[in-house]
């Protein structure tokens, strides 16, 4: 009896230990299953989050009360004349080169005109013949008129002789006009400057064949009055109400970055171009010191009151597609919304929006390609960063 009792106790202990081990194993297996399920859920959530486009957002900045309107422009000579030949021939000699200062009426070049010279000689000979015939016709008409009273000739014959004289006189006048025309053409063999200015182009040389009117060839010379210059600027329609005759603007040029010049509005087109939504404005610049060059680039700065409320956003936020100009924003639920906007001014890195946005909108700085209305996105920053002015 004493031997069986310890054996029974050992069996009970073994059974209890096996049960406990079984329970522990079950707990471990169950914990592993739960942990794996949780990890799978986290991985699925992370994968889904990573599949969404990551975007950066900015907050629009309200424009100030004053607006510095900066626009590109090109200088043009106040007066510019391309000089073409009015007669054909060969360039005999030129007297001025580019950069030369010339006076009105100064000879720039001479053209040799052998063909025209022969035409003028022939026309003068034709004129001499016509005048001789006119003189003979006049003498004949006078003689026949003196015989009319004697009855030796009829009135009809006298009228015929007078008519012939009138015809000869008309032919003589026509010949004289032809001589005058050719003589005037011969005078155009001297190429002269139409006004005081600077020779800004010379497109011919000695011996070159010269055609009357150029026939599509470049002008022989170009003379420009560079003592004052014009600037043409396209002002957006939002600002045309502030641009008046006499309005001044500051001018800067790349070759003199440290200097600022003053330009004055001289005239406006008084009409808005339908394609650019801008009005063409002409400014006058004094260039008596000859520091500014025709054809050069300039930046025109108008200091104008900002009468149109605007919001500044990065230019990279704009979307151009078949629907027009739009901006993508993000709501509190991470959904993208496309908003049509109206551009007031492009300042390079930033743009001014006059309609379509509010200061509270979270604007996507670089919207991904193909973004659509209601698309879910992932905001990269915890807090939106304001756009720079």
What stretch(es) of the chain map to CATH 2.40.30.170? 70-77+228-305
Q: How many CB atoms lie within 10 A of CB 72?
A: 10
Instruction: Give the strand pairing for 278-286 and 107-112.
Output: unpaired
Architecture of domain 70-77+228-305 in CATH?
Answer: Beta Barrel (2.40)
Reduced to 3 states (helix: H, G, I; strand: E, B; else coil), residue 143 is helix
pLDDT single digits (tens) 320-341: 888 888 888 988 888 888 889 8
Compute the distance between CA of residue 318 and CA of residue 350 in angstroms, rounded to an integer. Answer: 10
pLDDT of the residue at 5:
58
Q: Which sign does the torsion angle of CA 13, 17, 20, 22 carry?
A: negative
Instruction: Give the fold, CATH level 3, of 54-63+310-386.
Output: 2.40.420
Compute the distance between CA of residue 23 and CA of residue 12 in angstroms, rounded to an integer. Answer: 16
pLDDT of the residue at 323:
80
What Å distances lie between residue 192 and 94, 110, 268, CA to CA? Answer: 11, 9, 33
Instruction: Give the strand pairing for 248-253 and 256-273.
Output: antiparallel
Angle of the 155-187 helix axis to the 114-147 helix axis, nearest 10: 160
Domain 114-188 listed as CATH 1.20.1260.10: no
pLDDT of the residue at 28:
67
pLDDT single digits (tens) 177-192: 999 999 999 999 999 9
**Which tokens in the block code for residue 266?**
């001289």
pLDDT of the residue at 38:
62
357: nearest Cα among 57, 55, 61: 61
pTM of this prediction exceeds 0.85: no
Q: Which sign does the torsion angle of CA 334, 338, 339, 342 carry?
A: positive
Strand-pairing partners, residue 318, are 327
Low-confidence ranges of the chain (pLDDT < 50): 1, 65-66, 382, 385
Compute the distance between CA of residue 308 and CA of residue 241 in angstroms, rounded to an integer. Answer: 11
What stretch(es) of the chain map to CATH 1.10.287.470? 114-188
What stretch(es) of the chain map to CATH 2.40.420.20? 54-63+310-386
């Amino acid at each position: 009896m004493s031997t069986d009792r310890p054996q029974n106790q050992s069996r009970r202990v073994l059974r209890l230990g096996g049960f406990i081990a079984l329970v522990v194993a079950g707990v471990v297996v169950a914990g592993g299953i739960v942990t794996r399920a949780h990890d799978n859920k986290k991985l699925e959530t992370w994968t889904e989050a990573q599949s969404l486009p990551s975007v950066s957002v900015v907050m629009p900045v309200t424009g100030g009360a004053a607006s510095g309107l900066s626009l590109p422009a090109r200088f043009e000579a106040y007066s510019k004349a391309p000089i073409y030949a009015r007669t054909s021939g060969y360039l005999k000699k030129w007297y001025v080169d580019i950069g030369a200062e010339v006076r009105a009426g100064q000879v720039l070049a001479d053209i040799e005109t052998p063909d025209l010279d022969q035409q003028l000689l022939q026309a003068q000979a034709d004129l001499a013949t016509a005048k001789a015939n006119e003189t003979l016709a006049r003498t004949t008409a006078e003689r026949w008129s003196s015989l009319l009273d004697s009855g030796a000739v009829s009135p009809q014959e006298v009228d015929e002789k007078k008519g012939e004289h009138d015809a000869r006189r008309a032919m003589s006048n026509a010949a004289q006009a032809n001589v005058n025309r050719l003589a005037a053409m011969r005078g155009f063999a001297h190429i002269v400057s139409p006004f005081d200015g600077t020779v800004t182009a010379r497109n011919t040389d000695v011996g070159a064949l010269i055609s009357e009117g150029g026939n599509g060839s470049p002008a022989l010379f170009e003379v420009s009055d560079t003592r004052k210059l014009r600037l043409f600027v396209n002002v957006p329609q939002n600002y045309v109400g502030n641009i008046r005759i006499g309005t001044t603007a500051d001018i800067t040029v790349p070759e003199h970055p440290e200097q600022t010049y003053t330009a004055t509005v001289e005239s406006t087109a008084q009409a808005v171009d339908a394609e650019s939504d801008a009005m063409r404005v002409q400014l006058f610049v004094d260039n008596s010191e000859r520091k500014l060059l025709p054809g050069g680039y300039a930046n025109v700065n108008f200091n104008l009151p900002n009468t149109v409320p605007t919001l500044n956003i990065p230019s990279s936020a704009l979307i151009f597609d078949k629907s027009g100009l739009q901006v993508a924003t993000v709501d509190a639920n991470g959904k993208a919304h496309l908003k049509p906007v109206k551009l007031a001014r492009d300042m390079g890195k930033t743009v001014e929006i006059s309609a379509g946005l509010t200061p509270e909108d979270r604007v996507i700085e670089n919207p991904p390609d193909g973004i659509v209305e209601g698309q879910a996105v992932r905001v990269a920053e915890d807090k939106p960063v304001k756009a720079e002015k």
